[in-house]
Every structure is written in C-alpha cells, then in structure tokens.
Structure 1
Amino acid sequence: MSNVELFHYLLLLICGAGALTWLAERIAIPPAVVLLFGGCVVAIVGKRVPDMDPDLLLAAVMPPLLMSSAFYTAWKEFRGELGTIVSLVLGAVTFTTLAVACAVHAFNPALPWAACFTLGAIVSPPDAVAAKAILQRNPLPARLVAVLEGESLVNDASGLLLYQMAVSAALAATTITVASGTGLFFALILIGVAVGLACGHAMCWVLQRLADPMLGIVLSFAMAWASYGLAEAAGGSGVLSVVTCGLVLGIRQHRVFSADMRIKAKATWEAVVFMLEALVFVLIGLALHSLLARVNHESTVLMAGLRVALPATAAAILARLVWVFAAIWLPGRLRAQRAGNRGGNRGGGRAWSFAEAAVMGWAGMRGVVSLAAALALPDAFPGRDLIVFSTFLLIIATLVVQGGSLAMLIRLLKLRPAARHTMSEHETRARTFGASLAALDAIGKRAEPIAPAMLERLRAEYGIRVAANEKAYAAGAEHVEERTRFLRVELELVGVSRQTLLGLHREGKVDDAVLHRIESELDLEELRLLRLQEP
C-alpha cells in the first residue's frame, strides 16, 4: 500500500468512525464498543488492511489524547485522592499481574512463567483512552472520576516496569534484581516527571509571549509529542511526561491563555481528540487482520489462545475487584468505624461507599496501550502469538462486558454525583458580576473620565446580571423558569440579527470581513445564552 493509498485509507476510517459514533448514539451503546466491532468487521472482510506499527501508534496517537485528559483533570480532586490512586497504580497493577500469571499458568502449564508474567504485565494497567471514552458519558461523583482518570493516566509506569522485567527474564537478556528494578522504576518516574515539568513551564513561558492564538494551538500539539519523545529518549516514561506537561498547562491556563486562545483551542482540541479516540478503537479492531492471518497459518493458535485468554480475562477482572474491596474499600470503612467510635473523623477523607467501590472495581477497561505492548514483543519471544491473541480478546471482553455494562451498573447502584459543597454556578456568576459592579465606581473616578450616561448604562447592565443570578439560586424553580423564558427571547433576537446580517451580505451591502467578524460575535453570544439555559 503506497503512502497516498494509506492516506486515503485513513480518511475512509475517519469517515467510518464518524458514522459509527453517530450510530452508537442512536442505539444507546458506548461508541467505543461500536467502533471496536466496526474495526473487527473491516479486518475480517477487508482485503487490504495495513498492519499497525505499535511504536508509531503510541508515539503519534497517544500523546495528544493524554495531554487533553491531563489538561482537563480536576487537580484538587486528583491531589486529594492521591493515596487511592497510588494504591491502584502500584498495588492493583502488581496484584493483577500476579493473578493473571498464576491463572494462565494453571490452565497452560507448558507456557513459561516469564511469558505468563509478561501477559499479566501487558493487561494489568487500565487504559486512559478507554476510561475517558466510557466515563465521560456517565455522571459520577467528582472524586471517583478523579481517581479513575488519574489512575489510567499514570499507571503505565508500573505496568511498563513489570513488562520490561518479564520480557528480559523470558529472553534471558539481562538479570533484573530488586534493586535494579526499583532503580528503573524511579528513573522512569523521575525523568518522565522532570521532562514534563520542564516542557510545561517552557510552554507557559512561550504562550504568554504569543499574540497569535493559532500558533499557540499548533505549539500545544507539538509540545504533546515533544514531551513524550524527549522523555523516552532520556530513558524516562513518555506517558508520565505528557501527563505532567498537561497538568501544568491545565493548572496555569487561566493566567497564561488568552480568552481568544481558550475558545479556539477548546474547539480545536475537542475535534482532534474525537477523531483520534475514534481511530484508536477502530485500529484495535483492525489488529484482528494480522492475528487472523497467523491463526489461519497455525490453526492450533485459536484453541490455545482461548485457553489463555479466558482465564486471563477472568483473573484480570476479579483481581481488580478483589484489590479495590480488600485494599481500598474495607480499610476505609474500618477507619470510619473507629473514628465514629471515638466520636469524630480525624483521619483522611470520606470512606468509599459500596457503590463507588463497585464502579471503581468494574471500570478496568483495557485498550490500545496493552495491544501495542503485546504487538511490540519480539518474534522470538516464547508464546508471542498466544500473548498477542489473548491480549486482543481480553481488550474486547473488557470493553464490551465492562464498558458496555458500566452505565447499567451505575443506574442499578443509583450512584449520582455528590451534593455540591461549593458555590453554585448562579451564585458564582452573581459574585463575579457583583465585583465588576463594585469596580464601576472606581473606574468612573479615573483620570480619564467616563461619560455619566455610559457609566450608568454599565451599572444598570451589571445590576441586572447580579439580580438575575442571585434570584436564580435563591428564589427557586419559578424564577428559574422565568429567567429561561427571558433567555429564549434573547436567543431569538440573536437569530433575527443573524438573518439580517446574512441578508445584508446577500444584497452586497456587507463585505466578507465584516460578515465574519460580526457573525463570530453572534456565535459567542448564542453560545453564552445556550450555556445559561442549561440546567
């Protein structure tokens, strides 16, 4: 397949991914599941399917997705639940690796232990892309989302260490001791975090000095790939580097980004991330093509692969559930009981409920990172075909079974976002507009005087905004409905203005430059009004 044909093939995949996403919304099935099956169908019926390069997939597709997830991570919740995240990143990944290795070896005694541990390390960390694709469509408590997304963003360091140790042991290339393994683990973390911090702060320094938002958006994409590549070249974790860089940019965005850049960057990143996420799941399905070619060549691989994949899948799912309930939920309940007996709760945060623990344990979808790690195994690795085939089946099982039933489980457990302990949106808006209203008097006394009529107009406008938002959170549903009707009228007026503008342009009375400028203002006003109408 030539480069031009490959380009056309990718365009068709993108169009197909968009159609499948639309279909998934219509039939109320998680898009990741539909995209995965779509890729499998193409792999089965397609005659010319390009092989997926795992290194290229990780280096080209993963950095923007990780950067976007880290950028929008709730930092306060992430920091507050750091203990739980570390427990999942270190404890759950290691426990799952051991459980999968033991289960696979019990059903396949001829498979070397090193190969069993390699498979366990490959499938032990849940995938960030899969977690985001499934979780963003289900309303959950903020702290639970922070744990699940935070875990999936940083657990690749521990999984990669176990993977490297198992591969080295299987190939007898080097002998990894506890000391050398610990050193490698901390090197991956420290170098990755250091490179990510440097890239994030460098990006902030550059963005503050850029006037063109489009250039800043392009540089943000370039920094995602650069932070990953630099960390990998330095011997660190590229995943942790990108995540750290994204966290730095997300924390400092309100001081570094201009309003124009925030609006344009959000729209650009959402479109690119949507396309890449869809492509990732399609590409996972397309990997079935090369697997089927090897299975047809060696028919014994199919049954042997099932004997490996079934116990591996069961062990991976059960191990996470056991770890969550035994190492996270139960200790938290015991601490809460002891604190209650002493008449207070002095230690740590609120204990996890049974429903939260159940969702945390069930949300262990695997994805592209596991598949890329399996495909990256050398051809001489013992049991390579079995490991790759089993990994593929496990990914499908977790995405379909766990990802497909997660929404049903959340509804069954009646798990909802926790009650708000901060100011509501209306109250926050009233405070911010109130500060502007209070500042009008000081502005009116400046050396450059403002016309009294203009000052009064601004004071009246901000006074209306403050009163409307104060009533919205204090006066109840009746006023909220009245305010909604008022916003509908404003939205209708925006539509009238838009039609008038387009009519003037059709009549040749307005040139294109003025049309685009005023149309952009109307778009922003329409978005503001639509946002205010949201419940």
Structure 2
Amino acid sequence: MNNVEIFHYLLLLICGAGALTWLAERIAIPPAVVLLLGGCVIAATGKRVPGMDPNLLLAAVLPPLLMSSSFYTAWKDFRRELGTIASLVLGAVTFTTVAVGVLVHAFNPGLPWAACFTLGAIVSPPDAVAAKAILQRHPLPTRLVTVLEGESLVNDASGLLLYQIAVAAALAATITIASGTGLFFTLSLIGIAVGLICGQTLCWVLPRLGDAMLGIVLTFVMAWASYGIADAIRGSGVLAVVTCGLVLGVRQHRVFDAGMRIKSKATWEAIVFALDALVFILIGLALSGIMARVNYDVGVLMAGLHVALPATAAAIAARLVWVFAAIWLPSRLLAKRLGSQPWSAGEAVVLGWAGMRGVVSLAAALALPGNFPGRDLIIFSTFLLIIATLVVQGGSLAPLIHVLNLRPHARQTMSEHEARARTFGASLAELEKTSKHAPAVERATFERLQAEYRIRVSANENAHALGAERIEDRARFLRIELKLVGVSRETLLNLHQDGKVDDEVLHRIESELDLEELRLLRLLEP
C-alpha cells in the first residue's frame, strides 16, 4: 500500500471501530473485546493488511493514552495507595515473569530459559489501555479503581525493563543482578525527571499562550515529546509521560481557564476514543502477519498452543496468587494494628482477575530481534495470550463484579449538593461584603445577584438535607430551564434563517446556550 491507501485504510478502520463500539454497547459486551475480534475477522479474510511497526505503535499511540489516563488520576488517592500499587508494579510483574518462564519451560524443555523468561517479561504487565477501556464502564470501590488505574500507568516500565534484561541474556550479553538493578533505577529516575521538567514547562507555558487551541495542541505535543526525550536519553518513556500527565492533572485547576478545560476535554475524549479503537483493531489485524510468519504450518501452530496455554494459565494464576498472598492476606492481618480498612475477598478477586494484556505486550514481542531464539513461537503465544485475557477476563469482568456485588463505598467527603451549597455560599458572602461598600446606584445590581445566589444556596442545602423528594423538585425545575434553553436555540436559528441574525452573532449566542445546556445536564446527572 502507498501512503494514500494507508490513510484511507485507517479512516475505514476508525469508521468500523465506531460501528463496532456502537454494536458492543447494544449487546452489553466490552467494546475492547468486540474491536479485537473484529480485527481478527478482517485479518482472517485474507485482505492485505499494512505492516505494523511496533516501535511506531508505542511511540505514536501509547503516549496520548497514558497522558489522558494520568491527567485524570486522583493524585491524593494514588499517593494513599502507593504501597499496593508498588507491590503490583514490582512484585506481581516479577513474580508473573518467573511463573510464566518456569511453566513454559516445563512444558517446552527445548525452548531456552532466556526465551521463556523473555515471554514472561513480555506478558507480565497488564495493559493500561485494556484496563481503562474495560474498567471505566463499571462502578467500583474507589480504592480498587485507584490501584488498578495507578498500576496500569506505571507497570509497563517494570515489565519492559525485565524484557530488556531477558533479551540481553538470551543474546549472550553479560548481565548481572547489580547491573539489572542499576538499569531499573536509571530508567526510572531519568523518566521521572524528564516528566517533571516537561510537566512544569507545560504548566508555565499554557497560561501565557492565551489561545485554547494552541494549548490543546501543545498538550498532545508534550505527550509525545516527553516519551521521545526520555527514550532518547535511555530513560523510561512510559514513566516520563505518566509523570508529565500527573503534574498537569494536579495543577490543571490553576493552569487551565474554563474555556480551555471545556475544549480540551472534548478534543482529548474524541482522539483517545479513536486511538483506543485503533489499538484493539490493530491487535486483531496483527493475526494476519503472525499467521504469514508461521506459514500456516499446523505443526508450528500446535507448538504455539503448547507454549501459549501454559503461559496464559501461569499469567492469570500468578497475579491471583500474588494479590491474595501479598495484598489481601497482609491487609487482613495488619488491619487492627494499623487501623486501616482491609481488602475484602471480592475486591481481591476483581483486582487479581483484571489482568488483561494488550498493545504493549504485542509491540514488545514484535520488536524482538530477528535472530532471537523461538521468536515466532513467542510472538504467536503472546498474541493468543492477549486474546485469551481480553476475551475471557475482560468479557467476564462485568458479570463477576455483579455476582460479587461490588459497589462504591459510602462517600466520606461532602456530597455534590453540600459542596455546591458551600461554594455558592462563599460567593454570596463575598457579594454581601462587597455590596456594603458599593455606591447607591449599584445597589440594585448587587441585590439581584444576592437573590440569585441565595436561591442556589437554598436549593443545594435543601437537596442535601431533605433527601429524594426535594431533589426531584429541583430536577423538575432544572428540566424546565433546559426546555427554555431549547426554545431559545430554536428561536435563534429561526432568526438566522430569516436573515435577521448574522453568523457571528449566531455563533456567540449559540455558544452561550451550549454552555448553559451543559451546566443543566450536569446538574441533572444522578
């Protein structure tokens, strides 16, 4: 395919991804699973599929997805659960690498130990994209969501480090525990330092741009730049992007103005949706190249299954064992001594079961050197393991959550209505203080503003104190306001159609009505 054909092919894939996502919503199956199977079906038809450069995939697709996830990470919750996240990122990934390597070698003694451990390192880290795509659709306890999202953001760094060590060992390079540990800390520290510098730079530049669109473009550029800079100086690109996103997420409330927040959220959501969809379809499409590589040889395919099945079983079982032995059990034993809330068995089951693999594992397998021992077997096994974890674990996660009856814990902070009452109350207090020193001619204006804020405070206080009946009254009032916004919009469009309003006025007033509609819809959310 030439460049134009590839561009048209990608457009068709995005359109197909939209259709498959719509279908997945209708049949209540995780979109990631449907997109993956859709890509496999396309690959199985024998259509010519463009080759997928794994390095390009990691450098182009992964940074924006990591930046988006880290930007919306709740930093305080992340810091509170840092011990559990570190246990999964360091302990579970290493334990899974060893378990997969040992079991695969037990079933395939002819495969070198280094190749077995390389496969283990490739499939050890659960994928950030897969975890987010499946888990974001299910309400879960806050702690569980924080740990899963936090783990998925940084475990690629530890997995890729083990991968580099295993590949070096397989290719007869000299590597020791000391040099491996040093490499880990070097990768991590360089990555974090680059992320901090990029994040702080972005926070300094954005308020000074004065243009929301330029600011949004710069956030995308910085996602790729932080990854590329860290990678170029032998640091962890993954940690660089995650750190940059965390810095920006923590400081967004001071750095972004309202307009940029609204525009950037819409822009990022649209692009992340397209990239998410492409990732899973491209994983499915990789079947075509993998099957061509093994020449559809039945013997090779059976050998691949002989590697993939124990690898899949070991990867799933190792995570469950680690979660129960290193997280659930200690939390129960130390709960009284530390005065902390122990992990429930249901939370531990979901934490252990949510170990889907995805694009990072496939890209790492495809990036193996051409002379690597057992390369085709490893690539084929990795692909099968990704399909198994996404389809089996990802597809069963929602029913499992339902059976375990996991729900978000009771709110320990202010309710939304209470918070609104407090924030509007602060504005009202400031308004009353200012009005005391205002000239007489401005008193009428201040009185109108005070009346409006008293209504807002009263509505939210009543909704917080009086319960469901008052909330429903408030919702009816908001629906009336929403209907009036629709009437205003229809009138504006009719005036424009009759030639009584020009385009500039139309867009300005329409934008104001859109913001008001978004505000009302947000207040009506349950």
Give me the TM-score of the superposition, normalised by structure 1: 0.97
Question: What is residue 342 of structure 1 aligned with on the other side?
Answer: none
* CA–CA distance in structure 2, aligned partners of residues 479 and 165 of structure 1: 62
The root-mean-square deviation of aligned C-alpha atoms, in Å, is 1.0
Q: Between the two proteins, what is the percent identity of the paired residues?
A: 79
Question: What is residue 44 of structure 2 aligned with on the other side?
Answer: 44
* CA–CA distance in structure 1, aligned partners of residues 437 and 322 of structure 2: 64
1:39 counterpart letter in structure 2: G
* CA–CA distance in structure 1, aligned partners of residues 262 and 46 of structure 2: 40
Equivalent runs, 1:199-348 vs 2, <5 Å: 199-296=198-295, 298-336=297-335, 339=336, 345=337, 347=338
1:115 counterpart letter in structure 2: A
Contact kept, 8 Å, 1:67 with 1:243, in 2: the verdict is: yes
The partner residue of 1:525 within 510, 516, 521 is: 516
Question: What is residue 177 of structure 2 aligned with on the other side?
Answer: 178
Question: For the structure 1 residues 448 and 88, does the alpha-carbon distance in structure 2 shift closer, same or farther, using more than 3 Å as the test?
Answer: farther
Q: What's the CA shift for 1:299? A: 3.5
* CA–CA distance in structure 2, aligned partners of residues 481 and 350 of structure 1: 35
Runs of 4+ in 1 over 3 A off after TM superposition: 445-450
SS at match of 1:451: helix
1:461 counterpart letter in structure 2: E
Contact kept, 8 Å, 1:90 with 1:158, in 2: the verdict is: yes
1:30 counterpart letter in structure 2: P
1:254 counterpart letter in structure 2: H
Is 1:395 the equivalent of 2:386? yes
Question: For the structure 1 residues 198 and 421, does the alpha-carbon distance in structure 2 shift closer, same or farther, using more than 3 Å as the test?
Answer: same
* CA–CA distance in structure 1, aligned partners of residues 81 and 144 of structure 2: 9
Is 1:460 the equivalent of 2:425? no
1:451 counterpart letter in structure 2: E
* CA–CA distance in structure 2, aligned partners of residues 405 and 163 of structure 1: 29
1:457 counterpart letter in structure 2: R
Question: For residues 338-392 of structure 1, what are the alpha-carbon distances to aligned partners after superposition, in whole Å with 9 as ceiling and x for unaligned?
Answer: x2xxxxx5x2632111111010000000000000000000111000000000000
Q: What's the CA shift for 1:444? A: 2.2
Contact kept, 8 Å, 1:126 with 1:152, in 2: the verdict is: yes
Any unmatched runs of 5+ in structure 2?
A: none
Question: What is residue 516 of structure 1 aligned with on the other side?
Answer: 507
Is 1:132 the equivalent of 2:132? yes
Any unmatched runs of 5+ in structure 1?
A: 340-344
Question: For residues 474-525 of structure 1, what are the alpha-carbon distances to aligned partners after superposition, in whole Å with 9 as ceiling and x for unaligned?
Answer: 0011111111111111111001000000000000000011101111111111
Question: What is residue 486 of structure 1 aligned with on the other side?
Answer: 477
Q: What's the CA shift for 1:441? A: 2.1
* CA–CA distance in structure 2, aligned partners of residues 15 and 424 of structure 1: 40
Q: What's the CA shift for 1:445? A: 4.3
Equivalent runs, 1:398-413 vs 2, <5 Å: 398-413=389-404
1:194 counterpart letter in structure 2: A
* CA–CA distance in structure 2, aligned partners of residues 59 and 111 of structure 1: 31
* CA–CA distance in structure 2, aligned partners of residues 75 and 450 of structure 1: 47
1:478 counterpart letter in structure 2: E
Question: What is residue 93 of structure 1 aligned with on the other side?
Answer: 93
Q: What's the CA shift for 1:208? A: 1.5
Contact kept, 8 Å, 1:37 with 1:285, in 2: the verdict is: yes
Q: What's the CA shift for 1:310? A: 0.4
* CA–CA distance in structure 1, aligned partners of residues 339 and 457 of structure 2: 38
Question: What is residue 358 of structure 1 aligned with on the other side?
Answer: 349
Q: What's the CA shift for 1:442? A: 2.6
Question: For the structure 1 residues 362 and 529, does the alpha-carbon distance in structure 2 shift closer, same or farther, using more than 3 Å as the test?
Answer: same
Question: What is residue 68 of structure 1 aligned with on the other side?
Answer: 68
Q: What's the CA shift for 1:295? A: 2.6
* CA–CA distance in structure 2, aligned partners of residues 399 and 448 of structure 1: 67
Contact kept, 8 Å, 1:201 with 1:248, in 2: the verdict is: yes
2:117 counterpart letter in structure 1: F
Question: For residues 447-481 of structure 1, what are the alpha-carbon distances to aligned partners after superposition, in whole Å with 9 as ceiling and x for unaligned?
Answer: 77761111110000000000000000100111111
Question: What is residue 151 of structure 1 aligned with on the other side?
Answer: 151
Equivalent runs, 1:23-62 vs 2, <5 Å: 23-62=23-62
Is 1:187 the equivalent of 2:178? no
* CA–CA distance in structure 2, aligned partners of residues 518 and 3 of structure 1: 42
* CA–CA distance in structure 2, aligned partners of residues 333 and 472 of structure 1: 38
Equivalent runs, 1:371-520 vs 2, <5 Å: 371-445=362-436, 451-520=442-511
Q: What's the CA shift for 1:47? A: 2.1
Contact kept, 8 Å, 1:355 with 1:413, in 2: the verdict is: yes
Mean Cα deviation higher: 312-321 or 159-168:
159-168
SS at match of 1:155: helix
Question: For the structure 1 residues 525 and 377, does the alpha-carbon distance in structure 2 shift closer, same or farther, using more than 3 Å as the test?
Answer: same
Question: For residues 246-272 of structure 1, what are the alpha-carbon distances to aligned partners after superposition, in whole Å with 9 as ceiling and x for unaligned?
Answer: 000000000111111000000000000
* CA–CA distance in structure 1, aligned partners of residues 294 and 185 of structure 2: 39
Question: For residues 127-174 of structure 1, what are the alpha-carbon distances to aligned partners after superposition, in whole Å with 9 as ceiling and x for unaligned?
Answer: 0000000110010111111100100110112111111111011111x2
Question: For the structure 1 residues 204 and 161, does the alpha-carbon distance in structure 2 shift closer, same or farther, using more than 3 Å as the test?
Answer: same
1:250 counterpart letter in structure 2: G
* CA–CA distance in structure 2, aligned partners of residues 259 and 308 of structure 1: 53
Contact kept, 8 Å, 1:444 with 1:450, in 2: the verdict is: no
* CA–CA distance in structure 1, aligned partners of residues 490 and 60 of structure 2: 43
